[in-house]
Structure 1
Amino acid sequence: MPTLRQQLFRIKPVPRQKEDVETDLKRTIGLFSLTMVGVGSTIGTGIFFILSESVPVAGPAVIWSFVIAGAVAGLAVICYAELAGSVPVSGSSYSYAYATLGELPAMGVAACLLLEYGVAGAAVAVGWSQYVNQLLFNLFGFQIPHALAYAPEEGGIVNLPAILLLAMCCFLLVRGTGESIVVNAIMVCLKIGVLIFFICVGVTGWDSNNFADFAPFGISGVVAGSGLIFFSYVGMDAVATAGDETKNPKKTMPRALIAALIIVTSVYVLVAVAALSAQPWEKFDGQTAGLSAILENIVGSQWPGTVVAAGAVISIFSVTLVSIYGQSRILFTMAGDGMMPKLFREVNPRTLTPVKGTIVVSAVIAVLAGFIPLNFLAEMTSIGTLVAFVVVSLAVIILRVREPNLERGFKVPFYPVLPVVSIIGCFWIISSLQIITIVVFIIWTAFILGLYFIFGRKSSVLGKQLAEAGPTNPESARTDSTGGAK
């Protein structure tokens, strides 16, 4: 009989299969589509409002804040790339933690991911409602009634547009992953086009004097701005949730992660430069719909703001789509391990997608989006991602030591310096978060770990396989990427 410690820290063996890892899902995602998943889940509401929060803190030097935040996220993404090429399965950092730290830590990481995707999905859906109202007003001169566009705490009854958005995303995902990925790729291209449009129009109002007082608050302001901007990089790990549906995952996933990071960081820096060149940094404080306002001031007309508002609507739709997708695939993987009810593992034989799990996830996020205000949801988004980034960086080090001969499609350069720096950078940003955010995160994690002790520890597929194998033949319990015995 294994001890409690052996149960809590049992490790799921790393899958040895290559590109043909067995999966119940259909492999339909190629390099371009997977890169668009990463870009689509990252470029969301953040870039459309973050300048009004970060520029007053850092001044024009916010450009360096974007670079620093991108570097911290980039270090974690590079670590993701190595693990994605070594453990090419769905589940993101949950699967990586299970293969390196053990079952209980994996459940703690799962709490981070469920928080990240669930709360972020609800937050961006609430933001979508506001941009829809702005677009309707610009185009037709009317808005959705306040009672049907805001949560009760904001003076409304229900945020109906947010719920409708989640219903549309759920419908797409239920129809099939292939169709959803195509729609996401189209939306990502459109919103990048809108941001490029902003950059091109923005630089026509270039005034070098706006950069004269480049760093009014010194290095401390640049660092503080980076902490705020990190929210704009949340979602990059969505690529790592698609391992079971990616073609040639060992090579495709690392390439898609790095390509998405390069695209996102380049777009962010160029948008920041264009915005600051056209407007003095002092005017960003408290500015709503900042990108739209800047273009309207340059052109002297409302139509550029309408274009940007349309881009925001498209942008947030794609982020919500990927949030539901990532959440349902993490639960799919956990159910295969016995950590969640079998409901989340059931796959529709026609569409080859986890229909029931997708519907449950969409319904829960819809409740959050419909009745909880945006400010509370947004505060909880970053911490789950940061903790997951720490685990991924740590997992790279552990796997290098434990399995040095494991086939890797990509290796982190300058090992172990980069993983260590990644961990330090993530903890640095966590230290800048509000205390209430950290407290709520701890309570949520304790709740998920409580579910593990009540349900997961006893129903663990790995635990049952180890018990059947016996102490003399633990290798016979080696599992494949779907949670089944080899």
Structure 2
Amino acid sequence: MQNTRLERTLTLAPLVLFGISFMALGTVFSTYGIAAQLTKGMVPAAYILALVAMLFTALSYGKMAQAYPISGSAYTYAQRSISPSIGFMVGWSILVDYLFIPMVNYLVFASFMNAAFPAVPEYVWILLMLVIVTGINVRGIKLAARVNLLINLCAILFIVTFCFFSIRHIVTNQSVFHLFSMSPFFQQGAGFSTIIAGASLLCFSFLGFDSITTFAEEVKNPEKTLPRAVLIVTMVGGLIFILVSYLSQIVYPDYASFPDPDSAAFVVIQNVGGDFLATFAIVMVTTGTFGSAMVSHASVGRLLYSMGRDGVLPRKMFGYLHPIWKTPIVNLLLVSLIGLSALFMTLGMAASLINFGAFLAFSCVNICVIMHFYIRKKDRAGWSLFRTLLFPIMGTVMDLYLLSSLDSYSLLLGIIWFCIGFIYLLVLTKCFRQKPPQMEIDAA
């Protein structure tokens, strides 16, 4: 029996940076044009709705991380609070998110670098990024944390620079009073349904606050650190998204005139900062996608490790830790192998599956809080009633509503993936005649 364990080295600051890096703050720019047209210029309003929905879910993740400070995230919470079978299906659903998010980052990185260096084929950039990300994660969480710090500093520096240039542009070309406008939150003739549609798209930007719970066994004092980190990541990300989209709308209010929604943010960026800021944006997007790929790659490796340690997946392969680096090296290499499919997969195909699994897992985590704290622990007195029942109910309703608002293509692919997992569960349990393997809690 292998005695090697994940090593507790992470504190609050690097954990928050991991979550922010996974979120890839640059997504506020890459999705801005599509969101602006979808919401008829009310992107900040859609971000506020998305932030509210994510905060309810973030509170639930924090509560469950206190109860079960071990690797596995939503998979572990559902497995222990509801049933092993439900836990397996939640883990299977969220697994597709973690598997495909690195792939999305490889594709985005390759497309930007190919635009800057047309002579170098995209597959070269995909392979280069994949090798570097794998190497950093295999060597351990400490090295990944150091690299991640530099990446986040670059992204934050760009966002501060963009906000400065935008405010200067507004004050110079309009007036200081234009800094305060209701147009990004209210457009005549646009209904609330447009904001809801935008929120269901923009929740993709928040994916990352949940990923840090997969590092539970590498965090010092996880019962206190994880809940704080989850809320900080969600709030910081949401406020940045709202501020950037607000300034973008004020700077360039004619959202319908963008020739290509995918590159709309670069029109805004060049409008306020010229070639200097546009070049800086390319650097920020490429480093941001690298950071997101690195963290998501590490997260899925640890989720597979949890499932392997339980015996849900073959234990010898997926439950193995490197004796020196103390990382799930086999899982990390397997994720890299799957990442090679970025060589022939399109960005749309990879992204279409992500939100389905996320909303399903988010809903289940909210239900886990009710099952574990309200029903089992009978934690119902005073403020606890809100934390253990009312807030999780609101989070569940909002997550399920956003899930139902996804486009039909995303829903179809998500349902197919879910059905494949259900068939595997039937095989694993011999048609439910026996329970799936269950994790032995050990938070030592």
- Fold shared, TM-score > 0.5 on shorter chain: yes
1:322-341 to 2 correspondences below 5 Å? 322-341=295-314
Q: Find the partner of 1:143 among 102, 118, 135.
A: 118
Report the aligned-residue RMSD.
Answer: 2.6
| 1:48 corresponding residue in structure 2 | 29
1:275-290 to 2 correspondences below 5 Å? 275-280=248-253, 281-284=255-258, 286-290=260-264
Is it true that 1:72 corresponds to 2:44 in the alignment? no
Deviations 1:256-278 (A, max 9, x none): 00111111011101111111121
Q: Find the partner of 2:393 among 420, 430, 433.
A: 420
Deviations 1:160-181 (A, max 9, x none): 3223212211100011111112
Q: Label 1:463 to 1:440 Cα distance change in 2 as closer, same or farther (>3 A).
A: closer
Is it true that 1:431 corresponds to 2:412 in the alignment? no
Q: Indicate if the aligned counterparts of 1:51 and 1:284 stay in contact, CA closer than 8 A.
A: no
Q: Find the partner of 1:201 among 156, 165, 178.
A: 165
1:17-28 to 2 correspondences below 5 Å? 24-28=5-9
* Deviation, structure 1 residue 61: 2.4
Q: Label 1:144 to 1:106 Cα distance change in 2 as closer, same or farther (>3 A).
A: farther
Alpha-carbon distance in structure 2 between the residues aligned to 1:193 and 1:115: 32
Alpha-carbon distance in structure 2 between the residues aligned to 1:178 and 1:461: 40
Letter matched to residue 349 of structure 1: P
| 1:470 corresponding residue in structure 2 | none
* Deviation, structure 1 residue 188: 1.6
Q: Label 1:212 to 1:92 Cα distance change in 2 as closer, same or farther (>3 A).
A: closer
* Deviation, structure 1 residue 448: 2.1
| 2:132 corresponding residue in structure 1 | 168
Q: Label 1:254 to 1:173 Cα distance change in 2 as closer, same or farther (>3 A).
A: same
Q: Label 1:23 to 1:258 Cα distance change in 2 as closer, same or farther (>3 A).
A: farther
* Deviation, structure 1 residue 414: 4.6
| 1:14 corresponding residue in structure 2 | none
SS at match of 2:70: coil
| 1:386 corresponding residue in structure 2 | 359
Deviations 1:251-306 (A, max 9, x none): 0000100111111011101111111121123334624433332232234x312100
| 1:152 corresponding residue in structure 2 | none
Alpha-carbon distance in structure 2 between the residues aligned to 1:28 and 1:461: 38
Structure 2 length as normaliser, TM-score? 0.89
* Deviation, structure 1 residue 46: 2.3
Alpha-carbon distance in structure 2 between the residues aligned to 1:457 and 1:316: 41
Q: Indicate if the aligned counterparts of 1:93 and 1:391 stay in contact, CA closer than 8 A.
A: yes
Structure 1 length as normaliser, TM-score? 0.82
Alpha-carbon distance in structure 2 between the residues aligned to 1:285 and 1:118: 33
* Deviation, structure 1 residue 33: 0.7
* Deviation, structure 1 residue 199: 1.3
Letter matched to residue 110 of structure 2: S
Alpha-carbon distance in structure 2 between the residues aligned to 1:464 and 1:295: 52
Deviations 1:32-72 (A, max 9, x none): 01111111111355212211011112234221111001111
Q: Label 1:144 to 1:67 Cα distance change in 2 as closer, same or farther (>3 A).
A: farther
Q: Indicate if the aligned counterparts of 2:31 and 2:262 stay in contact, CA closer than 8 A.
A: no
Deviations 1:202-246 (A, max 9, x none): 122224398658414132222222122111112221111011111
Q: Which range moved further: 73-82 or 53-62?
A: 53-62
Deviations 1:402-431 (A, max 9, x none): 43179xxx9684541110111110111111
| 1:265 corresponding residue in structure 2 | 238
Q: Label 1:196 to 1:291 Cα distance change in 2 as closer, same or farther (>3 A).
A: farther
Deviations 1:366-410 (A, max 9, x none): 22x11101111111111110000001000000001443179xxx9
Letter matched to residue 98 of structure 2: Y
Q: Find the partner of 1:344 among 312, 318, 337.
A: 318
Q: Label 1:87 to 1:144 Cα distance change in 2 as closer, same or farther (>3 A).
A: farther
Q: Find the partner of 1:184 among 148, 152, 171.
A: 148
| 2:114 corresponding residue in structure 1 | 133
Alpha-carbon distance in structure 2 between the residues aligned to 1:163 and 1:255: 36
Alpha-carbon distance in structure 1 between the residues aligned to 2:193 and 2:403: 16
Alpha-carbon distance in structure 1 between the residues aligned to 2:400 and 2:160: 33
Deviations 1:70-90 (A, max 9, x none): 111111111000001111011
Q: Indicate if the aligned counterparts of 2:312 and 2:436 stay in contact, CA closer than 8 A.
A: no
* Deviation, structure 1 residue 120: 1.6
| 1:83 corresponding residue in structure 2 | 64
Q: Label 1:414 to 1:24 Cα distance change in 2 as closer, same or farther (>3 A).
A: closer
Letter matched to residue 397 of structure 2: I
Letter matched to residue 354 of structure 1: P
Q: Indicate if the aligned counterparts of 1:53 and 1:228 stay in contact, CA closer than 8 A.
A: no
User: Number of paired residues?
Assistant: 427
Alpha-carbon distance in structure 2 between the residues aligned to 1:228 and 1:451: 30
Q: Indicate if the aligned counterparts of 1:43 and 1:264 stay in contact, CA closer than 8 A.
A: no
SS at match of 2:107: helix
| 2:277 corresponding residue in structure 1 | 304
Q: Indicate if the aligned counterparts of 1:337 and 1:462 stay in contact, CA closer than 8 A.
A: no
Q: Label 1:453 to 1:398 Cα distance change in 2 as closer, same or farther (>3 A).
A: same
* Deviation, structure 1 residue 191: 0.8
Q: Find the partner of 2:424 among 444, 451, 455.
A: 451
Is it true that 1:242 corresponds to 2:218 in the alignment? no
Letter matched to residue 425 of structure 1: M
Letter matched to residue 392 of structure 2: P
Alpha-carbon distance in structure 2 between the residues aligned to 1:295 and 1:165: 26
* Deviation, structure 1 residue 337: 0.6
Q: Indicate if the aligned counterparts of 2:311 and 2:437 stay in contact, CA closer than 8 A.
A: no
Q: Indicate if the aligned counterparts of 1:339 and 1:457 stay in contact, CA closer than 8 A.
A: no
